Amino acid sequence: MKQVLIIDETPLFRDYVKDKLVTDKIIVETALNHYDGAKKMHTILPDLLILDATFPFEELLDFLQRKASNPNTARIPVLLSGPVLEHGQIAQLAPYRIIKYFNKPIKIDVFFETIGQLLQTAIPIDTTPCILETHVNNNIIFIEISQGLNREKITLLRYRISELITANNITAPKIVLMMTALTLSFVDGMNLELLLGSILADMRIRDKNVKVLTFDKYTKQLIAGHPEFAGIETSTDVSSFIREVIPKSQDIYDMAELTNMHLLTATDENDEGSVQMRFRSDVSQGSESATDAGVDMYIKVAIIDDDSITRAVLQKAFSVINARSELFENGADFLSVIKSKSYDVVVLDILMPGLNGFDILTALRDLEYPPVVIVYSSMSNRESVIQALCLGAKSSLIKPLKP
């Protein structure tokens, strides 16, 4: 069986991912920090390491360097998650067998898809259309569900509720579940039970503090006839719920104003936490962020040289440090793509027919984020080297006579 090690201090992300993978018959070990995680990694030698990178970047580099220095752990692929990284940090992480970096909050369906590909194991994901949104107002957690009941999102909701209670320091949490747009039948019974069970899973939530707003007959019947949900109240009138859950000292009599203040206004600043409640399938193609599918953690190199042997030798050399190279046999081909593609490093021959290296260096200076340029050429005169450095090259290396 495949084995995964998760190093993350965030309960929502760590526990949810563990439960999901265990359900799919994958062995999972967890660690709360990278110190404990390092010991477990060397002991169990997992097939995949999932690492939260919210601790200082210098400590992250030290952890990865130690991992890479041990031949037993160096081979282990890594999925990183955490805050948005700077471009320079991505380049520093590239040599350490990191497959992708996921900015938090993570789109969990994309995340599991990547895990499945790395482990070569099918990880099924419920694709039932479902919009599930949460927000907090004072001590009230509002949950709105439309379109359908998705088991992945319902399971995730359990951890999301606990995260919201803790993050907002709610001592007596109240839940308002809004399902007015759903019409269910007996085939939805298991998912409905899972939904209500997920809401009540946190011991800080009492069933009498859970209100369900619904017009659906089946939903009302299931709640009324289920002993575990006996204290949950259902209604078609949101105003009755709002009057019950607002602070007693609040002197407001306009129901429209009251509803707007508590039902439509959030006080948690839309903090999505560790994981997004929206999946990639919920987002239109045009509005999807470029980082939703994870940032590929490898150095992108452009090699520009008219000699095919030199290109092949350089490509092989860069592959050792987890870099991916794109080869160009002339400067014109490279300049035709630099507005649509970005590179971390450009290895450039100066002495080429047509557009020479100096022409390319001049063009690269006009880019908003120019790449690091290394001149690798047979030119050896001092004036040409100085000219290349003045045009932006970081270093200049002389080609060997026989590559």
The whole-number pLDDT of residue 266 equals 54
Residue 267 reports pLDDT greater than 70:
no
Contact criterion met (CB below 8 Å) for 315 and 86: no
CA distance 359 to 362: 5
**What's the distance, CA 113 to chain centroid?**
12
Most confident range, picked from 17-31, 127-141, 306-320? 17-31
Residues of the chain with pLDDT > 90, as a percent, come to 56
Segments in 184-307 forming alpha helices (H): 189-200, 217-225, 238-245, 255-263
The whole-number pLDDT of residue 248 equals 54
Residue 6 reports pLDDT greater than 70:
yes
Average of pLDDT values for 142-156?
A: 94
Mean pLDDT of the chain: 85
pLDDT band, very low/low/confident/very high, at 302 (cuts 50, 70, 90): very high
Q: Which domains are delineated in the chain?
A: 3-119 (3.40.50.2300), 131-279 (3.30.750.24), 298-398 (3.40.50.2300)
Phi, psi values for residue 348, rounded to 5°: -130, 130
Contact criterion met (CB below 8 Å) for 375 and 402: no
Residue 31 reports pLDDT greater than 90:
yes
Residue 38 reports pLDDT greater than 70:
yes
Residues of the chain with pLDDT > 70, as a percent, come to 86
Contact criterion met (CB below 8 Å) for 15 and 162: no
CA distance 71 to 237: 64
Sign of the CA dihedral with 346 first, then 352, 355, and 359 last: positive
Please classify residue 260 by burial: count the beta carbons closer than 10 Å to its beta carbon, then call 0-12 exposed, 13-18 middle and 19+ buried. Answer: exposed
The whole-number pLDDT of residue 275 equals 73
The whole-number pLDDT of residue 241 equals 63
* Look-up of token digits 């001092």: 382
CA distance 10 to 106: 13
pLDDT band, very low/low/confident/very high, at 272 (cuts 50, 70, 90): low
Average of pLDDT values for 144-161?
A: 93
The whole-number pLDDT of residue 362 equals 92
Residue 43 identity: T
Distances, alpha carbon 345 to alpha carbons 99, 300, 301, 318, 324, in Å: 19, 7, 5, 10, 10
Contact criterion met (CB below 8 Å) for 167 and 273: yes
Question: Between 377 and 197, where is the model more confident?
Answer: 197
Average of pLDDT values for 276-296?
A: 58
CA distance 100 to 94: 10
pLDDT tens string 121-144: 989 999 899 999 998 988 889 999
Average of pLDDT values for 325-333?
A: 93
The whole-number pLDDT of residue 370 equals 85
